[in-house]
Structure 1
Amino acid sequence: MNSSEKAIQGSSRFRYIKLCIFFSGLSVFAQLYLFQPMLPMAAEQFGVSVGDTSLLVSSSTIGMALGLLFFAFKADSYSRKSLMVFSLISSALLTIISTWIPNLSLMITIGILKGFLVSGVSAVALAYLTEEVDALAVPAAISMYLSGNTIGGMSGRIMATLFAGEFGWRNAVLLIGVESFILGAVFWKLFPESRFFNPQKTDYHLKVKQMKFFLTNPYMLRLYFTAALLMGVFVSVYNYLTFRLEAEPFSLSHFVIAFIFLMYIFGVFGTMIVGRLSRIFPMNNILKASILSMIIGAALLISGNIYILIFGLGLFTLSFFAAHTMASQMTALYAKRGKSSATSIYWLFYYFGSSILGSGTGYLLHAYSWNVFIAVLIIAIITALLLTTFNPIPKARIKN
């Protein structure tokens, strides 16, 4: 393939890009949420409440949000590959080091730093794909990246749960850290360098201008708020569904509930399905259909029948990842310039939605009931649907 051509489907360069971008998502999200199923063990180890140890999870997402804000300004100053390699290797080393940290406060600090570092991958991955991959192959490449995110989040939680039960939570953290380091090393070796991007000195005035443009552009702003609402709803369901399943009429054991994370596999199907559909149908139509399907899945979570609830959860999960794939793809493809700024803002909204709505709905559930909780989440999803419905793609692309 000529060096002036973008990677096309079937080429060796495209295969390496797909494989490595999948590995990057696998590593980042395995590390980001690995503590979630092990909080009770960590609480016992440090002699604190589960609420205190929950900071082991939230610290990483806070770090991620801060990192995305930083890289929104600085990402274009570095080589795309170099930034992603540094993020993957350094975060894996921090995960490994945290295995031997005896102090909870220090582990939380490391969590913030780790989240900050891994944000380097999220800040430029979508920009790299739209720069280096042929437009017809971009949907497949982005779907592969988001599939890595999905499987990483799922496998990190499940592996941590099962390994911690046998060998202790610290050894489970070590396992995820070593696995992530190996993935980072493979990425370093195989991931192709950019051909259509050169690092450039940061023009802060231009960067602020670009970000201001994206944040005031109605089309992009609606996509950002859609991402925030959908991610907040998704995290809310997976954060608190355990309480629903432990109570009547289900009364499921902790071991059975742990395997609820297997439902993430439906997210992989969601990204793959819309990756193919986007070649046939308008992206905005696919996004609206995915959000509508997400509403149906959420409504089924009210059921007292375990089989209906599981079906609803599968539909809800598939639909969320389908919608997320479309929204992120539309963001990356629409920004003609300042792609890293556009995608960084997308992820910033995404994680702030996770933090704010994902935590706030917990107080709502505590004060009221599961049905009220789900009703509020459905209202949030309907709001996202309205934002998407009244957000047609402008005829002119952004010229920022």
Structure 2
Amino acid sequence: MADRRHASSRDIPFIRRGTAEFRRTNLAFLCAGFATFALLYCVQPLLPAFAAAFGVSPATSSLSLSLPTAVMACCLLVAGALSETLGRKPMMVASVLFSAVLTLGCSLAPGWEALLTLRVLLGIALSGLPAIAMAYITEEMEPSASGFAMGLYISGTAAGGMAGRVITGLLLDWGSWHWAMGAIGLLGLAAAVTFWWALPPSRHFEPRPLALGGLLANYTLHLRDAGLRWLFLEGFLFMGSFVTLYNYIGFRLIAPPFDLGQSAVALVFTLYIVGIGASTLVGWLADRYGRRTMLWSMALLMLAGLGLTLPPSLPLTVGGIAAMTFGFFGAHSLASSWVGRRAQSARAQASSLYLFAYYMGASIMGVAGGWVWARAGWTGIGWMLGGTLTLALLVAVLRLARLRPAGRG
């Protein structure tokens, strides 16, 4: 698991397309992305069950997702810096492994407080993967293949998000939420072992001593870049909108006029498969038409999808969720790879700042959505997300589309 450390890595070749290393790396990050989203978001279809089992409100039940995402967002700011000293691969493997074990612990939680405590610890453990994964891909992959590799990683997150939601939703009808979370924990363990086996050691990573002053200087450097600041905001807006949609769509679909059962709601989450193809397809289109054009197009697509969910029609709602899912994964793929290319140094810290904003969007808007749902129903959710996505569209059109390039960005 230890990274190979070199005094200089300039002459070492990058991982190239068509090689065995390229295939193993992509397999590893598919598993890593799968585990991250499956372990984090497996509770989303369980929110109504938590509300009923523990006697809490929808907004309170959403804390099982919002708390770990908020904690993970904060810890990401440190995890990226620690990986500069401890190495990329060891931290990522430990992250996936401990997260799977904690999910198994959640399945045995005796009460609401114990469940939340374990979920908070899971947020800490998971912080060791996302930002470091982005840094590893940028450092180790041939530049012409890094966008494709990032797209595959994000495709893995889509697959994990879908599997986590569908499996827990189906098992909830057949058993209990305890069994549902236990199954996801076992899948996480399998993904951790595969990730450890398949991922090549770092070859371009050069360890640096951990220095708080240097860490703060790196964050300050990135925050001074207007382009990066706008990309961080886009991550907040896109992720916040997407998570809010999926947090409360289950409550909408089990209520009149839909009156769907848990298994039927779980099948709605198979729409995540749209996201699996979106990230790689949009990455390819961005190479042809440009990131700026594709980013505002994804924001517009999400707005259109949101509009389809407003009428009390199941076919329109399903179509709207699919459009929002495609748009989100496409936008996230564009923004995250853009951050890695624009940052000229300390890319792990740049990725950490992006993901801090990304997951804080999920946490803050996820809880706020519960408050809106309780007072204004799905119409209120529509107004809330409509405003958020309109802002994301304006940022893409008025700021990012006119951004002067910086380095590789």
Shorter-chain TM range is over 0.9
Letter aligned with residue 204 of structure 1: L
What SS does the corresponding residue of 1:257 show, helix, strand or coil? helix
Please give the residue correspondences for 1:312-351 in structure 2 after superposition, counting only pairs within 5 Å.
312-351=320-359
Task: Decide whether the 8 Å contact of 1:219 with 1:393 is kept in 2.
Answer: yes
Per the TM alignment, residue 82 of structure 1 is displaced from its structure 2 partner at its CA by 0.6
Check conservation: 1:39, 1:50, Cα contact below 8 A.
no
1:162 corresponding residue in structure 2: 170
Instruction: Detail structure 1 runs of 4+ shifted over 6 Å in the superposition.
Output: none
Cα deviation for residue 188 of structure 1 reads 1.1
- 1-structure distance, mates of 2:36, 2:264: 26
Q: Flag structure 2 segments of 5+ consecutive residues without an equivalent.
A: 1-9
Q: Alpha-carbon deviations, 1:22-41, whole Å to 9, x = none?
A: 10011111111222323454
Which range moves more in the overlay, 385-394 or 231-240? 385-394
Contact in 2 for aligned 1:160/1:172 (Cα 8 Å): yes
The equivalent of 1:397 in structure 2 is 407
Instruction: Output the CA distance in 2 between the equivalents of 1:364 and 1:243.
Output: 13
| TM-fit CA distance, 1:247 | 4.2
Letter in structure 1 aligned against 2:64:
L
Specify the code of the residue in structure 2 equivalent to 1:274.
V
- Tell me what 1:123 maps to: 131
Tell me how large the CA RMSD over aligned residues is: 2.2
Does 2:109 align with 1:97? Answer: no
The 10-residue stretch of structure 1 (246-255 or 222-231) with the greater mean CA deviation from structure 2: 246-255
TM-score normalized with structure 2 length: 0.91
What are the equivalent positions in structure 2 for 1:17-96 lying under 5 Å apart?
A: 17-42=25-50, 47-49=54-56, 51=58, 52-96=60-104
- Aligned equivalent of 1:198: 206
Matched, 1:112 2:120: yes
Q: How far is the alpha carbon of 1:303 from its aligned partner?
A: 2.5
User: Any idea what SS the aligned residue of 1:396 has?
Assistant: coil
Matches of 2:312 and 2:63, distance apart in 1: 32
1:149-191 CA-partner distances (Å, limit 9, x unpaired): 1111110111112224334322322221122112111211221
Partner of 2:197: 189
Structure 1 pair 43/248, CA: closer, same or farther in 2 (3 Å)? closer
Q: Distance in 2 between matches of 1:60 and 1:161?
A: 20
- Larger deviation, residues 157-166 vs 264-273: 157-166
Counterpart of 1:49, as a letter, is: V
5 Å-filtered alignment, 1:107-256, equals 107-256=115-264
Answer with 282-291 or 162-171: which moved more. 162-171
Conservation of the 8 A alpha-carbon contact between 2:168 and 2:184: yes
Q: Which amino acid aligns with 2:160?
A: G
Q: What is the DSSP-based 3-state SS (H/G/I as helix, E as strand, rest coil) of the residue aligned with 2:232?
A: helix
Contact 1:72 1:345 in 2 (8 A): no
Q: Give the aligned residue type for 1:395.
A: P
Shift of 1:105: 2.0
Cα distance in 2 for partners of 1:9, 1:297 equals 35
Structure 1 stretch displaced more, 103-112 or 249-258: 249-258
CA contact (8 A) 2:26 2:153 kept: yes
Which whole-Å CA distance do the structure 2 matches of 1:361 and 1:44 have between them?
19
2: CA distance between counterparts of 1:166 and 1:373?
A: 30
What are the Cα deviations for residues 370-392 of structure 1, in whole angstroms up to 9, with x where unaligned?
33431331221111111122223
1:301 partner amino acid: T
Measure how far apart 1:107 and its partner are: 2.7
Give me the whole-angstrom Cα distance separating, in 1, the residues matched to 2:195 and 2:365.
Answer: 34
Query: C-alpha separation between the residues in 2 aligned to 1:148 and 1:261?
Result: 15
| Identity rate, percent | 30
- Residue 393 of structure 1 and its aligned partner are, at CA, apart by 4.0
Contact 1:3-1:195 at 8 Å conserved across structures: no
Q: How far apart are residue 143 of structure 1 and its match?
A: 0.7
- Kindly indicate whether the alpha-carbon contact (under 8 Å) linking 2:104 and 2:181 is maintained by their aligned counterparts in 1: yes
Q: Which residue of 2 aligns with 1:309?
A: 317
Taking structure 1 as the reference length, what is the TM-score of the superposition? 0.92
2-side partners of 1:82 and 1:282: how far apart?
35
Deviation at residue 122 of structure 1 after TM alignment: 0.6
Question: Residues 26, 194 of structure 1: CA spacing in aligned structure 2 closer, same or farther, 3 A cutoff?
Answer: same
Worse-matched range after superposition: 177-186 or 162-171: 162-171
Q: Contact 1:99 / 1:173 at 8 angstroms: preserved in 2?
A: yes
CA contact (8 A) 1:73 1:204 kept: no
Most deviating of 203-212 and 322-331: 203-212
Counterpart contact for 1:139–1:278, Cα < 8 Å: no
